[in-house]
Amino acid sequence: MELPKNLNDLIQDQKTRRELTYGSHFLFFHTYFSHYIDCKTADFQKEMFSLTEDMSVKSIVIVAFRGSGKSTIMNMSFPLWSILGKPQCKYVIIVGLTQGQAKRHLKNIKQELENNQLLKADLGPFNEIENDWSSYTLEIPELGARITAVSIDQSIRGTRHGSHRPDLIICDDPTEIHLGERSACVIGRQWG
């Protein structure tokens, strides 16, 4: 997918921006996270976006070299698009190798929501909550959605957000197996 030539004009209007980005993680990323883009989107990155947009795909494993944009695309942009966009997720869990890593993933999302004026205008206020299980949670109340970050050694079995079980789970570097200059990102989702 290539960007429309007049995208910069289109993103000035919130309604148009939301309509364009609703069904396309690719457009969502290029609209709200354009400050992370240093060069033309590579084919393997386009494939990452395509996989996240394909609702028939229930599990995704992405192994890519460090610096490939995997964490920015899959750990920051994808959870937010999954809530704001077509998937309409209500409960996203991000699993990091350590508690510190999990918290950093959530902190990165929180910083975008606080400092990215375009994203902030569309998503509105949120609350960070530290709960009894030492996981960290970010809520987007007007959408009834939650993003929770946990470490790989914390159990998420039985966890809920109101009546919602996790409908998207993202595991970053899920194993301690050394992959050289590559790392993995595993996505699991439950639709309906």
The structural domains of the chain, with segments of one domain joined by +, span 7-189
Residue 180 has a pLDDT of: 47
When pLDDT is averaged across residues 112-118 and rounded to a whole number, the result is: 86
Q: Is the pLDDT of residue 155 over 60?
A: yes
Of 15-19, 145-149, 160-164, give the range with the top mean pLDDT: 145-149
* Contact between 183 and 114 (Cβ < 8 Å): no
CA distance 11 to 167: 29
Six token digits for residue 92 = 């996203």
Residue 129 has a pLDDT of: 61
Continuous segment of H or E residues that includes residue 121: helix 117-123
* Contact between 94 and 172 (Cβ < 8 Å): yes
What ranges make up the beta strands (E) of 20-58?
none
Q: Is the pLDDT of residue 108 over 70?
A: yes
Q: Is the pLDDT of residue 107 over 50?
A: yes
